[in-house]
Chain A
Amino acid sequence: GAGVSQSPSNKVTEKGKDVELRCDPISGHTALYWYRQSLGQGLEFLIYFQGNSAPDKSGLPSDRFSAERTGGSVSTLTIQRTQQEDSAVYLCASSLALAGGRYQETQYFGPGTRLLVL
């Protein structure tokens, strides 16, 4: 079946502009995750959703970052008033559930959105 998709694949924006990044998870996956990866670094967790609910938003770097998920499916990560330090690859992943073993909790990743803030 179809994997996780993300759009746009690349985004160049000017400092101060708002951007929206979209994630379409694997059908039937209830859990959805957003990560950020700076060049040559590991992944930084941002937020996860169980259904449409995000129980813990403490991973978001600042109040300029927000995320929502509607219909238990598509999620949007919004960055307001972008700064140059926001430049990174934003990765989305989904899993069948939050925990429960190999088949439930393995996260499958999308190809990412490469964001460049000039």
Chain B
Amino acid sequence: AQKITQTQPGMFVQEKEAVTLDCTYDTSDPSYGLFWYKQPSSGEMIFLIYQGSYDQQNATEGRYSLNFQKARKSANLVISASQLGDSAMYFCAMREGRSNYQLIWGAGTKLIIKP
């Protein structure tokens, strides 16, 4: 079974609109961390936001927020007021448990912002 599922291979969004990128995860471990990364066409992997499984509040980092629904095992990324520079691949990843420190990655969503 997929540990991290990103169901949207690609999305087109009008500039200045908000966009939600979906991510669902699968783990039975109570301790985990969830990450979102952005990868522009230049190839660099840029950290955006982190949510810990024990965090009480949804994480926010500037225009990025994470809609964390623990019971549904969902960790959607919300980008407010999208900009042309937001066009990139977006990856959701999970650090599962305290004995396995690799990040498990989703397949990614290609986001294109239209002017």
Contact = CB atoms under 8 A, between A and B. Distances in A.
Interface of A: 31, 33, 41-45, 48, 50, 56, 59, 89, 91, 93, 98-99, 101-102, 105-109, 111-112
A41 B103 CA distance: 15
B102 interface: yes
A50 B59 CA distance: 27
Nearest to B102: A45
B45 A48 contact: no
A106 B91 contact: no
Given A31-B101, A48-B101, A48-B102, A108 B44 contact: no
B103 A33 contact: yes
A33 B98 contact: no
Contacts of B105: 42-45
A113 B36 CA distance: 22
Contacts, number: 59
Given A45-B103, A101-B52, 13 more contacts: A33-B102, A42-B91, A42-B108, A43-B91, A43-B93, A48-B101, A56-B100, A99-B31, A99-B33, A101-B50, A106-B47, A108-B47, A109-B46
Contacts of A106: 35, 47, 50
A99 B101 contact: yes
B50 A102 contact: yes
Nearest to A111: B44
Q: How large is the interface on B (under 10, 10 to 19, 20 to 34, 35 or more residues)?
A: 20 to 34
A5 to B, nearest CB: 12
A31 B33 CA distance: 16
Interface-central residue, B33, B37, B45, B105, by most chain A CB under 10 Å: B45
B44 A109 contact: yes
Nearest to B108: A42
